Structure 1
Amino acid sequence: MIRLEVKKRLHGSQGDFYLEVSLEVKDKEFVVVFGPSGSGKTILLRMLAGLETPQEGYIEVNGEIWYDSKKGINLPPQKREVGFVFQDYSLFPNMSVFENVAFGMRRKDPDKVMELLRLAKMEELKDRKPNTLSGGQKQRVALLRALAREPKVLLLDEPLSALDHETALLLRDEIKSFQRRYGIPTLMVSHNKEEVLRLADKVIRLVNGKMQAYGKPKEVLFSRVWSPKFSFQGIILEKQRMDFIYLLSIAVGSEIVQVVVDQDTANSVNVGDTVLVSAKAFIPVVRKVHSPHLST
């Protein structure tokens, strides 16, 4: 069980704001922290790990106080028994796969290391150095190293964002399988809605340091508090005329969607424009947000 209530002043692109989170995570729960960049998601994980210090509040894990501003308690990171997986892997380049996995263990256990490597189907790579591994293999090693610590809390900071889509899908399933197998309460930062739906037991929607919503994935992602109607913003890649209608091809992140619009709407936008597409009663409405053709 994780219980925390923390507050910390942060410096954002729009000025200073406070990160304020009150949260309970039960045993074996997988909680995803979701929301726009600069909202304090990674800082929340770093405060749990002891790498950042809140200005006030408390952090309690399995009945042990890790931080309490009133009592003057602040355990250092090495005493918090946290497994932390970073986006950039953070492997030791001069160590083998086996040595990287074993590095964080409180009690060196070669059999435990090999068990983890076998579960990840990496036992044949045990003597390889990180620079000879693919991105997915490196992230597996980072995950196994975190699990080898037998942590009380597992923290994942966008562990799949640097991987190609197919590799990310495979590793996503492995993360869930390992988390369930070892029953470790887990917090993960993600910007990917599919990851949220597939991995999370609960989701925190964090915006400008505030918990806008907290609950089951579908409750949070599709709640009226977040979005009263379907909408997304993207850039027009192509405009095609088809009989009496127009078809817009719009880039949204790494995806491309096509939207049918009338002639008036098509005439009001051009390739390269940033547009907001929203749907009300299943009728798409396209509004231009920005045009690169306009001089500033």
Structure 2
Amino acid sequence: MIRFSLKKKLHGAQGDLLLELEFEMEEEEFIVVLGPSGSGKTTLLRMLAGLEKPEEGYIEVKGEVWYDSKRGINLPPQKRDVGFVFQDYALFPNMSLFENIAFGMKKKDLQRVMELLRLAGLEQLKDKKPSVLSGGQKQRVALLRALAREPKLLLLDEPLSALDPETAIILREEIKKFQRSFNIPTIMVSHNREDALSLASRVLLLSEGKIKSVGKPKDVLFSRRESPKFSLNGIVLEKEIAEYACILSVAVGSEVVQVVVPKDQEKEFKPGDRVLLSTKAFVPIVRKA
């Protein structure tokens, strides 16, 4: 069991925010944390890893107390058994793939490094430096390095955000395979609902520093009012006023779609607005996000 209850004051572009989180997870769960920018997702990972200190609370991982404000316990990052995969991979540019993976091992095991490389199909590149790798290959190496530590907790900070959609699909399957093979409890921060649907045993939805919802991916992601069949976040690029309607051009990820809304609603939308595109019974719906 992994348990934490944490409070921390955050200072963001929208003003001060109190991050206040309490949660428990089982040892083999894969938790995906969703929420808008500034809701405290990455700060949660950094507090668990010991990279940031909460104002108060506790962290307990498999019976070991990593942080307890009342008892004055605060283990430094190097004493917390964590594997952390950062957004920018954080690979050592002067080291080969093999050396990067072996670097964080508690006990050097060269055979184990080769097994991990083979598992990811990278054994032929073991002597290459990170600079010659693609984004997907760098992400695999960062994940293998974290797994090589055999951590008690694996933390992933938007590991797929910089990848193209096709590579992201492949990496999701590999992350799922690795996590199930090693049975490491995992907490992954993401903005992408596909990550939650593909990977999560449970989704933790954050909003304004609080846990808004927790549950199975479909229960959390499809619980919006009017029960939409799908929901996508987008940004209005431009709007065109037609005779009887308003046509919005909306960027959704790397795609641009056009959505027709009633003419009497056109004043609700302007370029730059964040909107939620959804559908119910195959009827498109667009709302301000």
2:79 corresponds in structure 1 to: 79
Deviations 1:36-78 (A, max 9, x none): 0001100100111111111111100010111111111111111
8 Å Cα contact 1:229/1:279 also seen in 2: no
SS where residue 89 of structure 2 aligns? coil
Corresponding letter in the other structure for 2:89? Y
Query: How many pairs align?
Result: 285
1:252 corresponds in structure 2 to: 252
280 and 95 in structure 1: CA distance in 2 versus 1, 3 angstrom threshold: closer
57 and 279 in structure 1: CA distance in 2 versus 1, 3 angstrom threshold: closer
RMSD: 2.8
Q: Distance in 2 between matches of 1:267 and 1:72?
A: 56
Q: Distance in 2 between matches of 1:175 and 1:246?
A: 42
Greater displacement, 187-196 / 267-276 = 267-276
1:115 corresponds in structure 2 to: 115
Corresponding letter in the other structure for 2:222? F
User: Aligned pair 1:60/2:46, yes or no?
Assistant: no
Structure 1, unaligned stretches of length 5 or more?
Answer: 290-296
- TM-superposed CA distance for 1:260, in Å, is 3.9
2:22 corresponds in structure 1 to: 22
SS where residue 128 of structure 1 aligns? coil
SS where residue 170 of structure 1 aligns? helix
- TM-superposed CA distance for 1:207, in Å, is 0.8
SS where residue 235 of structure 1 aligns? strand
SS where residue 219 of structure 2 aligns? helix
SS where residue 184 of structure 1 aligns? coil
8 Å Cα contact 2:50/2:80 also seen in 1: yes
74 and 286 in structure 1: CA distance in 2 versus 1, 3 angstrom threshold: closer
1:293 corresponds in structure 2 to: none
1:155 corresponds in structure 2 to: 155
Deviations 1:83-137 (A, max 9, x none): 0000000000000000000000010000000000000000000000011111111
SS where residue 4 of structure 1 aligns? strand
Q: Distance in 1 between matches of 2:276 and 2:153?
A: 40
Corresponding letter in the other structure for 2:258? Q
> Percent identity of the aligned residues?
63
8 Å Cα contact 1:229/1:278 also seen in 2: no
Deviations 1:149-175 (A, max 9, x none): 000000000000011111111111100
1:234 corresponds in structure 2 to: 235
- TM-superposed CA distance for 1:28, in Å, is 1.0
1:36 corresponds in structure 2 to: 36
Q: Distance in 1 between matches of 2:166 and 2:63?
A: 40
44 and 248 in structure 1: CA distance in 2 versus 1, 3 angstrom threshold: closer
270 and 8 in structure 1: CA distance in 2 versus 1, 3 angstrom threshold: closer
19 and 36 in structure 1: CA distance in 2 versus 1, 3 angstrom threshold: same
- TM-superposed CA distance for 1:255, in Å, is 3.0
216 and 240 in structure 1: CA distance in 2 versus 1, 3 angstrom threshold: same
133 and 276 in structure 1: CA distance in 2 versus 1, 3 angstrom threshold: closer
- TM-superposed CA distance for 1:221, in Å, is 1.1
58 and 237 in structure 1: CA distance in 2 versus 1, 3 angstrom threshold: same
3 and 115 in structure 1: CA distance in 2 versus 1, 3 angstrom threshold: same
21 and 268 in structure 1: CA distance in 2 versus 1, 3 angstrom threshold: closer
